Structure 1
Amino acid sequence: MTNRPETPILDGIKKIDDVRNLPRDQIRALADEVRAEMIDSVSVTGGHLGAGLGVVELSVALHHVFNTPDDKIIWDVGHQAYPHKILTGRRDKMRTLRKEGGISGFTKRGESEFDPFGAGHSSTSISAGLGMAVAADLKHEKRNIIAVIGDGAMSAGMAYEAMNNAGAMDARLIVVLNDNDMSIAPPTGAMSAYLARLVSGKAYRSIREIAKGLTDRLPKFVSEKARKTEEYARGFWTGGTLFEELGFYYIGPIDGHNLDHLLPILDNVRDAETGPILIHVVTQKGKGYGPAENAADKYHGVSKFNVITGAQSKPVSNTPSYTSVFAEGLIQEAELDERIVAVNAAMPSGTGLDKFAKQFGDRCFDVGIAEQHAVTFAAGMATEGLSPFCAIYSTFLQRGYDQVVHDVAIQNLPVRFAIDRAGFVGADGPTHAGAYDTAYLGAIPNMVLMAPGDEAELKHMVRTAAEFDEHPIAFRFPRGEGVGVDMPKRGEFLEIGKGRVVREGNSVALLSFGGRLSETIAAAEILSTFGISATVADARFAKPLDVDLVERLAREHEVLITIEEGSIGGFGSFVLNHLASNGLLDGGLKCRPMFIPDAYFDHAAQDKMYAHAGLDRNAIAATAMRAIGNEKAANQVMSGLIDG
């Protein structure tokens, strides 16, 4: 679509004061224009669509009522914040969203003063907001802190830990629960809105405080019963007893798209002097855009799309994605072994387990945004003889690390960890990059750690994990499509701790662990154009390490280079430790580990990120050339004069 939507009111918003000063009879029109602008911009860039569409009215209302950025709004999860970005000086950059050099798809402190806390993962807003509220108190500053938590983020235990703490501290904190898919309690029209305005108003709060003062003078058992009676009576009408028990003053549920209801309640809350408050706002994911309303799962995250038809322009490929290969391999193994069960943490389609669930609905479990629980839940099933596959993105498995150590590895339970999104992930940037799992899992006793060099190897590893019952086992694989190798009908069981040689040479050894194998093979081709003979090996295992393969490569080559899509402390460190411990570096072997550098890399296309990190074919070849002393050839390759 080439014609931009007409947005006369939004065009007049040059600074945040323009939103605050806008007459209330124009707020509805502004929200409609923000929605149209967001749909149009995301159709060009791709990104998260559904959740942002659901909070358009809320975003406009918050910036109209509160004194941002002095009052602070924390968006949880950050992909809800597209309307917020449009309103806070980034409208002209929205068509650079998630592109190299453009703005982030999440909130980011370095991007704007209106983003007080970065949020790529979920369920952090209440904890962060409480910290900000306490800091404001200690500095004797009066400001509102608003944590907007939603899109499933209230399913994580961290949110309740923070609420429990906030309620006990009586901190000045406003939590807006954006209930867009949990349906904790549906709004019930005008009566619900009337009750919410009533209990948020000054008159009701004043009467409540007077009543509390009177009951405080009564005997304790009487005053406690009076307090409970008031809370449960209000909870009966509003559904907020749980939050009241956690120490929050509950308001809601209210229709988050009805500005006539939303604005006066926010006015009341802004002016309230009470402690922590929770406003329960019910919204519709994808609101205002038919295709997104009708298929919220498919429009959670989108590629570029046609605004009129909703059709997404996804590139056609004959090569399967790693995620789909994992899912199909797991289904195949589950057909043969009824002990196999699958667990994910609110990412059924992202991990491919939606396909598994269609065939084995009673053996597939989505536990919500609760990675810690997912790991221990899987451990519990393993104690009873089941074969659990715990499918979690690398970046999210970090949140369950203590459980991997204590509940799985110490007890040596055969939980299978399928770790998607290993390495760089492209447009989602550093918050979602899977850089650390090889290092943090490799440090754990009893852990077997694999990584496929291509999609066929992934299928082998799914079967290997399914049949291996001696220890916990993990396999990591990248985002995106495979490299186009022939696929086996069924995976083979791999000998634990054994790699493979895919190309023989005699001068340089290139030892790859994981998804950089195809680039490593291409690097060997570049080296051959300079008369340099390179062996290429696929390690397959980081733990246990194939020490026979490593020692052979060290003995028979002048240079040994390890390549991986992970941080320092991972596969290369295991190789170097073995070589050093066994005196294999004493004879002049030149060893060069290549890994993701000690830095965060901003969002860009995956291949660009690997090039920036020095992990593409040219960088691998140049590293080998420099190791053998051919600096001129290395510079030629890196300057693009020679390209594989």
Structure 2
Amino acid sequence: MNNNDFSCGCGKYPLLQKIKNPAQVKELTAEEQVLLANELRQCIINTVSKGGGHLAPSLGVVELTIALFKSFDFDRDRLVWDVGHQAYAHKILTGRYEKFHTLRHKEGISGFPRMSESPYDHFGVGHSSTSISAALGMAVASDLDGDGRNCVAVIGDGSMTAGQAFEGLNQAGGMNRKMVVVLNDNEMSISTNVGALSAFLSRKLSHPIINRFKKDFESLLKQIPKIGDDLALYAKRGEDSFKSFFTPGMLFESLDFTYLGPINGHNIADLVDVFEQVKKIDSPVLVHVLTTKGKGYAPAEDNPTYFHGVGSFEPETGRAKKFKGGLPSYTEVFGKTLCKLAAKDEKIIAITAAMPEGTGTNSFREQFPDRFVDVGICEQHAVTFAAGLATMGYKPAVAIYSTFLQRSYDQVVHDVCLQNLNVNFFLDRGGLVGADGATHHGVFDMSYLRHIPHLVFMAPKDESELARMVATAIDFNGPAAVRYPRGVGIGAVLEENPSILEIGEGELLRDGFDGAIIAIGSRVWPAVEAVEELDEEHGKAVAVFNARFIKPLPEKQILDLASRFKKILIVEENAKAGGFSSAVLEVLADNDALAGLTVKRLGIPDEFIEHGTQQELRTEIGLDTAGMKKAMLELLGEDQ
């Protein structure tokens, strides 16, 4: 592939132009399959370079995707991609080639498989380690229907670190259902000779004739009087020992899967040969495929972590495109603040679930390697692990995306908050995240955390307040959480030594007499901008109150606002159902303070928000400055 050939648009690829569905891949010759792989890579690189996306994972499975489409019939068979980071080639080959340039753009195609987007997206994904469970459900349904469908799950080695993946494997092996798990391994390093021998052994030992011979031979041994069962057991052990010496398959064999591999994931012919044999096995099979992340694009191969999820870049060089700004992100501010605090307090331990760069804890890892733990994609374990540390007097800081903490709700309730342990949760990507869409928006945390006893929950208006909240959480002797948005702030100056906030105290940023806005987190400064424009354009003096705390709420200050203002707008970047504004209304109702008040709420409506830029989505929902102005004018009975 010519790494410099990225100037053309998707309309320049002759093979891709012809393919409208997976069945057409079956008709391609071996030479055409190689050309198709090159076109897919060029199209993916060209598109992602303009709008960002998950580049390296999708480049790594181009040949695997072609081989799957060549071997299976996905008009009736079922295919589940785990997480979906690697599904771009799948999207292109299933009728979305002409729309691929809209990837992750508002009203364009999603960056993840979506059942509502295509009949070939057999299961919607976005969080990891769900594919085996879903594919097993499909396999059981297929057995009940008697239709003989093949059900295939493609899961990466990273996703195999999560407990749910092994729960699915355990159940599938126990049920002995016909299904295929493809383990896409792009991290393990195996020498050429060992890999080739393993592939040979796996293919030959799994051939239907050999399988039938093994079963017949075992049956024959068991018929020998007195010693037959022992001989059969020894034969089985000998086969397993021989196979495990050359392959890493014993783990999967012990779960009653037939293990095949490792197989070169970039050799289409070998993959097709294995898949054709796999279809003849009427029990669970795991095909171990070795791939190179970022395959075919040198910058991504050299730096797969950076190109896993990347913004716009120059396709010729791989260099990120420069944008105006240069302000530190909330993620960076959190990471630096935690490191500063940890330098003075040896009890602070940072924990992440396979995302040190994404959560800003990579700097902590470099400075304090003995106090940094990456648990893998195991959010449930991360929380209970932190709880165990807390019982020994440590101060664990669990850095995690808001959307991923949803996976450990039970552990937050029972293992941390019920026991009132000093565990701190730092929730990155709180609110609308943009192009990753519905599976990644962090718009439920205020709703699912605020009702848990003992927990202190904060959201900063800017970077400086974030640093103070990090210090406040670490200082608080009990469970605490801080949620902050994706992206950069306003450029607020950070304190050299962040001061501790008074728990449950907000701040009045601007006073007024016509009405008030009670805002939280990322919506505070846009609220200030809105009231400044209301003053300039309409002569309205509206107060702005930064609540700071979702729990405990600044109740006295809120009640004071309700006694002074009869028009109140509450703004949050969270689901309105059970969120911050619901909490404010509860305080007003419980204190008989709603009489004579007119209250309006702005937040995430009761629906899943699709992908788009953060600004596009906030504008659509009315959570930007203009939306707040409009809502406040309606409250005040004024025209625009």
Q: What residue is the counterpart of 2:314 in the other structure?
A: 306
Instruction: Name the amino acid aligned to 2:359.
Output: T
Q: Which residue of 2 aligns with 1:2?
A: 7
1:31 is the counterpart of 2:40: no
Q: Quote the residue 2:525 is aligned against.
A: 518
Q: 1:259 aligns with which of 268, 274, 279?
A: 268
CA distance in 1, matches of 2:220, 2:451: 60
SS at match of 2:160: helix
- Alignment of structure 1 residues 227-306 onto 2, 5 Å: 227-270=236-279, 272-306=280-314
TM-score w.r.t. the length of structure 2 is: 0.95
2:515 corresponds to which residue? 508
CA drift of 1:236 comes to 2.3
Name the SS for the 1:142 alignment partner: coil
Separation in structure 2 between the aligned mates of residue 509 and residue 468 of structure 1, nearest angstrom: 31
1:460 to 450, 461, 468: 468
Q: Choose which of 130, 139, 145 in structure 2 pairs with 1:133.
A: 139
Q: Which residue of 1 aligns with 2:59?
A: 53
CA contact (8 A) 2:327 2:488 kept: yes
Deviations 1:508-562 (CA, angstroms, capped at 9, x unpaired): 1111111111111112123222222111011011111111110111011111221
Match of 2:424 in 1: 416
User: Aligned-pair distance for 1:224?
Assistant: 4.3
Distance in 2 (CA, whole Å) between partners of 1:46 and 1:461 is 31
Shift of the alpha carbon at 1:237? 2.5
- 1:227 CA drift (Å): 3.3
Q: 2:153 aligns with which of 147, 150, 162?
A: 147
8 Å CA contact retained: 2:157, 2:183:
no
Determine the structure 2 residue equivalent to 1:641. Answer: none
Q: Does 1:483 align with 2:505?
A: no
TM-superposed CA distance for 1:121, in Å, is 0.6
1:486 maps to amino acid: V
Deviation at 1:185, TM superposition (A): 9.3
Structure 1 residues 554 and 180: alpha-carbon distance in aligned structure 2, compared to 1, 3 A threshold: same
Residue of structure 2 in register with 1:639 after alignment: none
Residue among 314, 317, 328 paired with 1:320? 328
1:473 and 2:480 aligned: yes
TM score, norm. by length of structure 1: 0.95
Q: How many residues are aligned here?
A: 629
Counterpart of 1:429 in structure 2 is 437
Of 60, 64, 67, which residue of structure 1 is paired with 2:70?
64
- CA distance in structure 1 between the partners assigned to 2:57 and 2:9 by the alignment: 22
**8 Å contact kept, 2:199–2:260:** no
Matched with 2:26 is 20
Contact 1:343 1:366 (8 Å CA) reproduced: yes
Contact preservation (8 Å) 2:389, 2:396: yes
1:130-161 CA-partner distances (Å, limit 9, x unpaired):
00011111111111111000051000000000
**CA RMSD, Structure 1 to Structure 2 (Å):** 1.8
Task: In structure 1, give the amino acid aligned to 2:510.
Answer: R
Match of 1:171 among 162, 166, 177: 177
Shift, 1:489, TM fit: 1.9
The one-letter amino acid paired with 2:594 is: L
Higher mean C-alpha deviation, range 111-120 or range 11-20 = 11-20
Contact 1:185–1:253 (CA<8 Å) still a contact in 2?
no
Q: Is the aligned partner of 1:618 residue 2:623? A: no
> Which amino acid is 1:260 matched to?
A
* Closer/same/farther in 2, CA of residues 434 and 314 from structure 1, 3 Å limit: farther
Check the 8 A contact 1:54/1:287 in 2, yes or no. yes
Task: For residues 135-190 of structure 1, give each alpha carbon's deviation from its aligned partner in whole angstroms, at most 9, with x where no partner exists.
Answer: 11111111111100005100000000011000010111100000112559987243
Q: 2:199 & 2:592 partners in 1: Cα distance?
A: 75
**CA–CA separation in structure 2 for the residues paired with 1:133 and 1:179:** 23
**In 1, Cα distance between equivalents of 2:282 and 2:241:** 19
User: 1:41 corresponds to which letter in structure 2?
Assistant: T
Contact 2:351–2:374 (CA under 8 A) maintained in structure 1: yes
- Counterparts in 2 of 1:201 and 1:32: CA distance versus 1, 3 Å: farther
Q: Does 1:406 align with 2:414?
A: yes
Match of 2:588 among 579, 583, 595: 579
Give the 3 Å change call, closer, same or farther, for CA 257–533 of structure 1 in structure 2: same
Q: Which runs of 5+ in 2 are unaligned?
A: 1-5
CA contact (8 A) 1:187 1:282 kept: no
Tell me whether 1:394 sits opposite 2:402 in the alignment. yes
Conserved in 1, the CA contact under 8 Å of 2:197 and 2:246? no
Question: In structure 2, how many angstroms separate the alpha carbons of the residues matched to 1:563 and 1:625?
Answer: 15
The separation in 1 between residues aligned to 2:317 and 2:190, in whole angstroms, is 32
Structure 1 residue 627: Cα displacement: 2.2
CA separation in 1, counterparts of 2:83 and 2:604?
26
Which one is further off, 64-73 or 22-31? 22-31
Q: What letter is aligned with 1:534?
A: V
SS in 1 for 2:493: coil
Distance 1:187 1:129 in 2: 33
Query: Which residue number in structure 2 is paired with residue 565 of structure 1?
Result: 573
Contact in 2 for aligned 1:193/1:261 (Cα 8 Å): no
Q: Secondary structure at the match of 1:188?
A: helix
